[in-house]
Amino acid sequence: MYDELMTDIPYDEYVEWVMQFAPSETHNTLLDIGCGTGVLAAMFAQAGYSVSGIDLSEDMLAVAQERFQAMGLDVPLYAMSMDELEGFRDVDVAVIPIDSLNYVREPEAVKATFARIYDALCDGGQLLFDVHSTFKTDDIFLDGPFTYDDGDITYVWHTEPAEEPHAVQSNITFFVRTADDTFERFDEEHYQRTYDVAQYVEWLQQLGYRDIVVTADWSNEAPDEQSERIFIRAVK
- The CATH topology of domain 135-193 is N-terminal domain of TfIIb (2.20.25)
Is CATH 3.90.550.10 the classification given to domain 2-132+195-235?
Answer: no
pTM to 2 decimals?
0.91
**8 A C-beta contact, residue 114 and residue 207:** yes
Domain segments of the chain as ranges: 2-132+195-235, 135-193
| In the chain, % of residues over pLDDT 90 | 81
Q: What would the pLDDT profile of 182-212 be if each residue is shown by its tens digit? A: 998 988 888 999 999 999 999 999 999 999 9
Tens digit of each residue's pLDDT, the chain (236 residues): 555 455 568 899 999 999 999 999 999 999 999 999 999 999 999 999 999 999 999 999 999 999 999 999 999 999 999 999 999 999 999 999 999 999 999 999 999 999 999 999 999 999 999 999 999 999 999 987 888 888 888 888 889 999 999 999 988 888 888 899 899 898 888 899 999 999 999 999 999 999 999 999 999 999 999 999 999 999 99
Q: What is the pLDDT of residue 187?
A: 86
